[in-house]
Structures are given as structure tokens and as C-alpha cells.
Chain A
């Protein structure tokens, strides 16, 4: 099962490699990892998407918590949450029809065209990892040249009342 874990870690040289090293040393899987600063410049937040059963996730949280420069470890997926991944996708569009087809997918997925040339387009999409997967899948018949994905970021919802998927879809 997929889990998203967020880790607040000191923004110091080597601290991220300590976390990544721990994952490989203990045989935990990293599906995506993304890291950025928090409101406090001394602290970073790493969001890691991993696969494993409850016990594995429990171990990941406990093992990461042991690190001296880790302040907080949270299984984001244990609570209602919002997850987003961003993708930049380079597609070839040879004939006019193809461009139309891409544009209709862009509209359906609420993606953006961020660059264009005679025979290529670069698209930007953000959404859940599933949505990004689906978008890329839909584009594949049209010759996708390159995909750059950001890895997942996540945050817990403000209240449980907002947690139904409809609300999330409406706000996506």
C-alpha cells in the first residue's frame, strides 16, 4: 500500500542523505521524494511516497524519528490530506489534428500549455499522482518525448469535514 510521509529535518548539509541512506539501508522503498524549505529557513520538509505494509510504515516513522536532526515525522496519509504532484511533459504534435487532441486533453485535465513550437508542446499539469499518471497515459499515443515529475507533496486538510473527495475534486 502507498503511504506519504512528511519529515521535518534540519536544513543542513548531509541531513537529507542520512534519511535517504536510512531508507536504502533498511530496505524501505522510495517512490518519490521532494524536499523544500519550511517557513523556518533552518528546517526543510521532505515528502516521501513509499510502499509497504503498516509495519513497514511504522518502522520508517520510528527509524526516521531516531535521527538527531529530524524534528517531526508524520504519516500524512493517516489523516485526510491533499496530495499534489507536478509534471512537465514534452509532446510532439505533427499535424493540426494532433494539436487539437492535445488541447482537448489539456482542457479535460485542466493542464496548461507552457511552451510551444511548430511540432512540439510542453504541458504543465498538477494533480494527484494518479491524475498525472492518467494524463501521461492519455498522451502516450501522441508521442510523448520527455516527462519531468516533481514527486509528490502533501499537506493535511484543515478539517475532517472537508475531507470528502468531491470537495477535493472541486478545489483541485
Chain B
């Protein structure tokens, strides 16, 4: 029998008459209830852009400006990405505030980006007043409906008495279990009505997670299976980062002596430079990682979802392997690939359970001898096909940019990437040491994400060196947020990998469409240095390999905002590449 009971949710209106309770407290305006509830949920930073439907809220924000810093973005998409960058850098819930209609629709791309990568956000959208909802009023859009498929949960707050509980619950839902974006749509009149603020958080929502990790027997099976495998691979993803499971993972895999391959979202969750790390797997993964997975007899998949960019042709993805799948989201297990041992759990709890079991086995669990043959094959693959780039005297190679950036930042920078070739090169050539050091739009692949997300990350981590790596295409989608960084004196560092193309698309056209470079030429672009200067930022350019290091150092040392236009070789390709739908062992290597 398939039966999933959810210990969830007494619905909000189970509070029998919220009005009665609320009226005892001193009534305040709905907008103030919202702001107070945000503060009581630990919010001190909001990214937003005002408009008619949120005027009451902005009025209260002004009053509470000592408690909450609002960053005025120049486009709502940038605001949501900045909130995402803030959330991704810290694990805290990011908050964005936008007006109704176009404000909300502009926010949609950011909400979808957060949804695909399981990023905790609360997005507050203004709505037209309740009496005119549904009448095609000015700046009306059905935000609840538009965002329905891309939210973890959403609310249209029609009753002022619900508002406080809605905000509290929204934060719980956003950060619990598998995190995600929550939209709160607030009609303008609700923000103007009066109601008591109780200032007590009542928990309505408990996230449903089956308790497999405490199921000792299941973890016993997991350990037994791993210890009996001859060619095991740990395939680890964003769940390691989200679940704060890096330390537990490190302990377990060092005990076991097994190879580890992180996904794009899992980068940083396991140190790239660790001798057991094979590098990223998938479409642009390392030869070794893809070969090891293809040859493995056991995949231990933790916090991953068997994304198509990872698996390639599904039937030939780890065809001989049994699968142990550990994920907090039961729906991820068995969605793409059947798991012989499914474990519904957050990564950390499961790994700590495995660690404990292993240690209880005493000295003979490790059996490094058992894996010698496996490691011999792996080392041979590593020797045969390392990640590789030939430098040139005449032009800057994009991989060289990443390697040089790695050197001049001592490998410590928080790297925030946009989407495209530069993203893959950054993933391949910047060895990450820790979780949350690598921030990118993995699932949705949102161009324009990088710059505003880096702004949010830098605001969240004022002491850290945050570098946005963007292409000349994606940069032009959201570069308006440079002025936000200037306004708030956020020392944003933007490194443009400028190849004059929509590079990833061009690569595919070169490889799979007979070099028909259809609409990918960006050689007519603004002068990025002058553009930087127009914003009041430092603008730097490097065109020759000899200028690269000095340019990066100068830009990174600058106190303020810097835009570095790094002109790289135009037609460099990302390798290895697994063609779409191909088997992941059939990589094109150069």
C-alpha cells in the first residue's frame, strides 16, 4: 500500500476566530504587521522596487528603516536574483518585495530560478485592492496563478487577520525540508487595514519527511551494500550544500576510501582538491568522473535528482550499478532512476547515521585493499584525460582566466557565475574548498543571474571576496544592478569573459549545426569599460595574456565596484562534452 501521511498543516483558519484574539492586541496597519513579522523572522535585508500596490508597505519600511535595510534594485528580476544570492551565500531565507502586475511578472524568472535550485525565498508581491481583484484593474495580474507551478507554496492574503500567520508560516515553509520560494501576494487594501499584532509564532506547518534515517535497518543495508561494492562511486549534489552535510560526507568517504563526484550544484560540498574527488560529472564533467560512473557497480546518490545534464542517455548511465538514493524529497527518488535502496532523509542525518554504523563495525570496515583495482582504473583515467587547456601567447584563454583568478584569490573567493561557457569553465577550473563558495543557476540556467546574485552574496558576506563571472551576453541582461552596488557601496567585482558571442550557443552551432552561427554574434556591444565608468565604477580591460594577472589583481584590490572586461579567445569550446542524449561515457574530448 502506498500511503503517505502528512503530519502537516492545520490550516490557518483552524484558528477559530483570529479577529477575536487579534483585537485584544493594539491594532496596527497591515503593512506594519508585515514588517514586524519580517523582523521577528530575522529579516534585516530586503531587495525590492516600489510601486502603487505596495505603497503602504514602503511607508512602513521607511519607519522601520533602522531595523531593515532595503536595497533599491533597478529591475525586479535583479531584486529576486539578489535575494537568491543572499540566500545561497548564507542558507538564510532571502526576501524580495515587488509591486503588483509587471513587478510580479518581472520577478517570475527569479522565482523559477530559486524553485529549480531549491533556494529558500520569500517573495512579497503587491496586489490590487481586494474589491477590484478579477476586474482587470490597473497593474493587475493573477500572481498566485502565474507563479503556481514555480513556488513551494503561495498565498493570496485576502484577510488582514491571516497576515501575521501567513508570514510566519511562509518562512517555515521556505526553509524547511527541501527549501524553495514562497510567494505572499498582498492586496493593497489589506496593507491599509488594521489588526492586532500578536507577536507569537504559532507553528501550523510541519514539513513532511519520512524518518528513514532513524530506520536503523535501512542504514545497515546501505552500509552493507557499500562495503560489498567493488566499484562504488558517491554522486553528491546540492543536497549536501543545503543540508550542511559537507563535514559528515568528508568523514564517511574518508572512512570508506571511495571516489566522490559532485554535480554542478554540489560543487564545494566536497573539496575539489581532495584526492578522492573525481571532479564534476555530467555533460561537461571530467572524463574520469563520467567513466567511473559508467563503470561503477554501486552509485551512492546523495542530494541529487539524476538531472538530464548529469545522466545523458539514461539507459547507459551507470548501467551496471545498483543505486542507493538518499534525498530529503521522496519525489526525487525513483523519478528518473529506480533506487535499490531508497532513503528519504536530509543528507546530514543520513551520513551521520552511516558514519556511526561504520565506526561501530570496528577496524575492518575500510578495506582499502578491496578498492585498489578500482582506484588503479580511476588514476589511469585521470592521467589519460585530465582537464586541459593550452595557453596561447596571443590571446587570453578563458580557462586561463579562471586559473589565474584562482591563484590571485588564493582559492578563497566566493564565485558567483552566470550561465554559459564561462559557468562551465569556472566549475571545471576553480577548485572549491567549501560549501556555498560556488553560486550559480544550475537547474533553470538563467542568464542574467550572476551579477545581481553576486550583489546579494556580497551584501550577505561583507567580509568575503565575491566575484561574479559573467559572459558578455548575460552581463547585458542585468547590468543595471551595477548602480545598485554603487549606491550602497557594495564592492561588487564583475569579471566579464568577453568572447563576442553567445558562446555556449555558438559552440553547439559549431559542433552540431555545421557552424551556422545563427544570431549569436555579440561583437557589437557597448564598451564595457566606458559603461563601468558611466556607472561610476572602475572599468578595466585585458586583451593580452600578459595583462591578465595584473588586471585581475588591480580589479580585486579596488575598494569599490569593478567591472573587468577580459577579452578571451572567441571560439574556445568547453570540453569534455557529452552530446545531448548521448551516453555519458561517449564524451567528445576536444
Contacts and interface: CB of A to CB of B under 8 A. Distances in A.
Bind each other? yes
Interface of A: 10-14, 17-18, 21-22, 25, 42-43, 55, 57-59, 61-63, 65-75, 78-79
B525 interface: no
A74 B9 contact: no
Contacts of A58: 2, 334
B1 A71 contact: no
B11 A57 contact: no
Contacts of B384: none
B375 interface: no
Interface string B500-524: 0000000000000000000000000
B363 interface: no
Nearest to A25: B149
Nearest to B12: A12
Nearest to B152: A68
11 contacts: A10-B11, A14-B144, A14-B154, A21-B149, A57-B2, A59-B334, A59-B335, A65-B6, A66-B329, A68-B152, A71-B6
B6 A72 contact: yes
B302 interface: no
Given A17-B145, A55-B334, A62 B4 contact: yes
B11 A12 contact: yes
Contacts of B148: 14, 17-18, 21
Contacts of A79: 1
Interface in B306-323: none
B315 to A, nearest CB: 15
Contacts of B149: 21-22, 25
Nearest to B335: A59
A68 B8 contact: yes
Interface in B349-376: none
A14 B155 CA distance: 9
Nearest to B4: A65
Q: When A and B form their complex, which 8 residue pairs have the shortest distance between CB atoms, in order from nearest? A: A62-B331, A68-B153, A10-B11, A65-B4, A75-B2, A62-B330, A25-B149, A78-B1
Contact of A14 (B156, B173, B178, B330): B156
B13 A42 contact: yes
Nearest to B204: A68
Contacts of B11: 10-12, 42-43, 69
Nearest to A11: B11
Nearest to A57: B2
Contacts of A11: 11
A14 B333 CA distance: 28
Contact of B331 (A57, A65, A71): A65
Identify the interface centre among B6, B10, B205, B334: most chain A CB within 10 Å of its CB: B6
Nearest to A20: B148
A71 B9 contact: yes
B531 interface: no
Contacts of A22: 149
Nearest to B205: A68
Task: Report whether over half of chain A's contact residues are helix, strand or loop; otherwise say mixed.
Answer: mixed
A53 B144 CA distance: 32
Contacts of A25: 149
Interface string B328-355: 0111011100000000000000000000
Contacts of A65: 4, 6, 208, 330-331
Nearest to A55: B334
Contacts of B335: 59, 62
A72 B208 CA distance: 11
Nearest to A58: B334
Interface string B517-537: 000000000000000000000
Given A13-B156, A25-B149, A58-B334, A73 B14 contact: no
Interface string B134-175: 000000000011001100111010100000000000000100
B552 to A, nearest CB: 43
A36 B4 CA distance: 21
Contacts of A72: 3-6
Contact of B14 (A42, A57, A69): A42
Contacts of A14: 144, 148, 154, 156
B4 A61 contact: yes
Contacts of B145: 17
A121 B304 CA distance: 59
Nearest to B330: A62
Nearest to B6: A71
Nearest to B7: A71
Contacts of A13: 156, 158
A65 to B, nearest CB: 5
Contact of A74 (B2, B154, B208, B333): B2
A62 to B, nearest CB: 4
A130 to B, nearest CB: 23
Interface string B170-212: 0001000010000000000000000000000000010010000
